[in-house]
Amino acid sequence: MTPELLTRILRNRADRRACVLATRLPDGTPVLLEDHDFGFRPAGSETVPAALLAEATSLAAAGRSGTTTLEGADWFLHLHAPPPRLLIVGAVHIAQVLAPFAAGLGMLPVVIDPRTALATPERFPGVALRHEWPDDALRALRPDRHTAVVVLTHDSKLDDPALTEALNGPAFYVGALGSRRTHAKRRDRLHAAGLSDRALDRLRGPVGLAIGAIGAEEIALSIAAEIVATRRGSPLATRSES
């Protein structure tokens, strides 16, 4: 590990791009693999086995680091992913519980609500707050593949533009609060507004894992659990009904 590699890893992270430091264990040779949207590539001019790039891609997708054996040598692949963000639309009671849950899970929560009476530092101590309209805020924050978006306002004026913006981007999780009926109506509205079935199939609603949640605290827990399950590729994140 050289100082230059360390600097480069930190630069990737500041740009919110994942990178994988691959270390060939017998001789300690490091190769930095950078994420170029269409796959991982060495940062320098090294040639590396194609299987190493494939392994980096699959580990990055699963959000894990790991060891693999290639051409008779052990490699350690260290994933440096940017901290995941959770963009919460709606400074409601569930958001007050969900934001600290997210922070405790190592995510960076941001609460978005133009209703300044709700999105206050008193209600959300230590949480980043934005008072723009949700779609403007989402355009500014640019959800990436390490970002989850959840809308909680129950107000289609606020929820729908945010969902349109989020579902057209690469966020790894997009969820919306509401009953099965609300969810069906919301799908119809968004479909009429031009979102494809494929984009809408990514929308998680009713939001959260089915843990029989009652009240804001338990609903927040079910949402946090579904975000973790999605991020880690757990079978729990697969919905049979959609």
Partner 1 sequence: MTALDPAPPPADPLLLAADWQRAGLGVALATVTETWGSSPRPAGSLMVVATDGRIAGSVSGGCVESAVAEAALQALQDRRPRLLGFGITDEDAWSVGLACGGSIKVLVQPIATGPAGAVGVA
The least distance separating partner 1 from the CB of residue 202, rounded to whole angstroms, comes to: 24
Q: Which residues contact 76 (CB under 8 A, 6 or more apart)?
A: 22, 23, 25, 65, 66, 67
The 130-159 contact track toward partner 1, x by CB under 8 A, reads x-----------------------------
Separation CA 175–CA 96 (nearest Å): 17
Contact 110, 88 (CB under 8 A): yes
Q: Which is closer to partner 1, CB of 3 or CB of 72?
A: 3
Contacts of 127 (CB under 8 A, 6+ apart): 99, 100, 103, 109, 110, 111
Q: Whole-number minimum distance, CB 9 to partner 1, in Å?
A: 7
The reply to whether 16 sits near partner 1 by the rule CB under 8 A is no
Give the residue with the Cβ less far from partner 1, 121 or 212. Answer: 121
Choose the stretch contacting partner 1; rule: CB under 8 A; options: 32-40, 122-130, 190-198, 206-214.
Answer: 122-130
Identity of the amino acid at 212: G
Per CB under 8 A, 73 contacts partner 1: no
Residue 76 touches partner 1, criterion: CB under 8 A: yes
Rounded to the nearest whole angstrom, what is the least distance from the CB of residue 215 to partner 1 in the complex?
27
129 near partner 1, judged by CB under 8 A: yes
Applying CB under 8 A, among 17, 78, 204, 231 the residue interacting with partner 1 is 78
Contact characters 97-116, partner 1, x per CB under 8 A: ---------x-xxx------
Closest to partner 1 by CB, 80 or 202: 80
Binding residues (CB under 8 A) for partner 1: these are: 1-4, 6-7, 9-10, 13, 23, 25-30, 64-67, 76, 78-80, 83, 85, 106, 108-110, 126-130
